[in-house]
Amino acid sequence: MKKNNIILIGFMGTGKSSVGTCLANTLSMKFMDTDNEIEKRSQMTISEMFKSKGEEVFRLMETNLLREYQETLNQTVLSTGGGMPLRAENVSLLREIGFVIFLKTSKEVTYQRLKNDTTRPLLQCEDPLGAIEQMLKIRVPIYEACADMVLETKDRSIDRIVQEII
Ligand code: S3P
């Protein structure tokens, strides 16, 4: 498969789906989102899946999707769940499938965006800010190592971010 796809990685709430949708429209490419695809195929929300099947089953579905996309994905902007690059196999697959862009956002901005969110099971805890901080510490180096390009989203609009990527 030719590497003609663009993949967005990064922490929850960085705008991967919004940026991805706008980027795909601007470049006349298709748009896909791994979380949406998993929800569609399993007929349940990510929260329900974490609760009834456990995180490991979700992670396995993520890897299986990438194995499939390695064969099939074409001219597509792919937005991925924030934990996608945590498995080493996924990192290799992502890099084979497309040009990988890490959308990077600060802990504070992430917290402001997600503090009232109820759809992210990993943040349904006593101390979401602490959880974000802990996860970012572990994940940012992984995102950076996986990416072909790192883009600080700062307080830029979706359109500005898309223009920068292009
Ligand atoms: C996760 C991020 C979520 C979703 C799941 C786990 C993570 O996706 O895949 O809740 O481990 O960071 P978003 O990054 O789209 O919120």
Mean pLDDT, the chain, whole residue set: 96
Please check the confidence at residue 2 and state whether its pLDDT lies above 60: no
Number of domains in the chain: 1
Residue 3: predicted pLDDT:
78
pLDDT of 15-42, one tens digit each?
A: 999 999 999 999 999 999 999 999 999 9
Give the domain range for residue 60: 5-165
Predicted-complex ipTM score: 0.98
Nearest protein Cα to ligand 1, atom 15: 81
User: How many angstroms is it from 10 CA to the middle of ligand 1?
Assistant: 9
Judge contact between 31 and 77, C-beta under 8 A. Answer: yes
Which of 7, 12, 39, 63 for a ligand 1 pocket mutation test, highest count of atoms within 8 Å of Cβ?
12
CATH of the domain at 81: 3.40.50.300
Please check the confidence at residue 1 and state whether its pLDDT lies above 50: no
The proportion of the chain whose per-residue pLDDT surpasses 70, expressed as a percent, equals 99
Which of 37, 122, 139, 153 for a ligand 1 pocket mutation test, highest count of atoms within 8 Å of Cβ?
122
Residue 140: predicted pLDDT:
98
The C-alpha torsion from 44 through 92 and 110 to 75, rounded to 10°, is -70
User: How many angstroms is it from 1 CA to the middle of ligand 1?
Assistant: 27
